[in-house]
């Protein structure tokens, strides 16, 4: 059964996320100015906070930035990518995608970084949005620049691969103090997983495993409508002609 044709929708979740991050950045700036050390000690994700049961850090850390440039880069990327993704996935799945990236970024930091490091985790959700975008629209140009004898074109897949490589390098060389990069790797992984579970991209081992388990369950239950060859369901936008989607997104 095919989904409804893709069409642009109101970007309610995207604008709400940007508004929330703007408000949190202003609050962080004020706290840093009038209560130095408070953000680092009580709001960023830290080993001390985990041991002392500062559970709120898992929420507040996802809204913290390492610098104004970190904030501007995140908001620019979220807006450019989120305009299309919220329309393709729908508001609910776009929000879940962002939240899964925020959680994945924190988990990645806890598993991959020394316990004494402190995480400002705002990049996790944006990283998930980037990887999901690269999975759904891998060949769509995000950067296009040309001069008389030189031109540069980077599509979504190239940008995602560059961010992945950069995050791996930073993970190896910057492993002390307060960091922002360690949330990216977990966010990218969460974005790839979420997009694949929704039915986008090439058939991955995750999707094949879930499809086999669903087939086994329906076979065991004797479902009369069971059809081993049917495609797995997905969200609106996953089962339609991409030739109609790409020009619409470009516009």
Query: What CATH number is associated with residue 55?
Result: 1.20.1540.10
Q: Which domain holds residue 51?
A: 12-199+234-250
Does residue 29 form part of some domain?
yes
pLDDT tens sequence across 66-121 = 999 999 999 999 999 999 999 999 999 999 999 999 999 999 999 999 999 999 99
53 within some domain: yes
Q: Is residue 218 part of a domain?
A: no
Any domain includes 46 = yes
pLDDT digit string, tens, across residues 123-159: 999 999 999 999 999 988 887 776 666 677 888 999 9
242 has pLDDT over 50: no
pLDDT value at position 237? 44
In this structure, is residue 17 part of a structural domain? yes
Read off the pLDDT of residues 180-190 as tens digits, 9 standing for 90 and up: 999 999 999 99
> Nearest CA to 110 among 170, 62, 50, 192?
50
Q: Which residues have CB under 8 Å from 53's CB, separation 6+? A: none
Q: Is residue 151 part of a domain?
A: yes
Within-domain flag for 163: yes
Count structural domains, the chain.
1
């Amino acid at each position: 059964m095919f989904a409804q044709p893709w069409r642009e929708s109101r970007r309610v979740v995207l604008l709400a996320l940007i508004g929330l991050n703007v408000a949190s950045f202003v609050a962080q700036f004020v706290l840093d100015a009038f209560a130095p050390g408070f953000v680092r000690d009580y709001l960023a994700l830290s080993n001390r906070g985990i041991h002392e049961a500062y559970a709120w850090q898992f929420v507040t850390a996802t809204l913290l930035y390492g610098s104004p440039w970190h904030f501007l880069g995140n908001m620019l990327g979220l807006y450019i990518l989120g305009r299309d993704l919220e329309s393709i996935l729908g508001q609910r799945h776009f929000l879940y995608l962002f939240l899964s990236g925020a959680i994945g970024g924190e988990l990645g930091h806890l598993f991959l970084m020394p316990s004494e490091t402190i995480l400002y985790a705002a990049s996790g959700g944006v990283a998930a949005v980037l990887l999901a975008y690269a999975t759904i629209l891998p060949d769509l140009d995000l950067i296009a620049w040309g001069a008389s004898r030189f031109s540069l074109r980077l599509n979504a897949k190239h940008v995602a691969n560059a961010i992945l490589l950069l995050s791996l390098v930073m993970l190896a060389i910057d492993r002390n103090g307060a960091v922002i990069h360690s949330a990216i790797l977990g966010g990218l992984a969460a974005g790839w997983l979420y997009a694949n579970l929704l039915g986008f991209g090439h058939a991955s081992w995750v999707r094949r495993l879930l499809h086999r388990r669903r087939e086994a369950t329906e076979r065991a239950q004797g479902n009369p409508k069971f059809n081993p060859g049917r495609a797995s369901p997905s969200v609106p936008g996953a089962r339609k002609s991409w030739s109609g989607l790409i020009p619409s997104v470009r516009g």
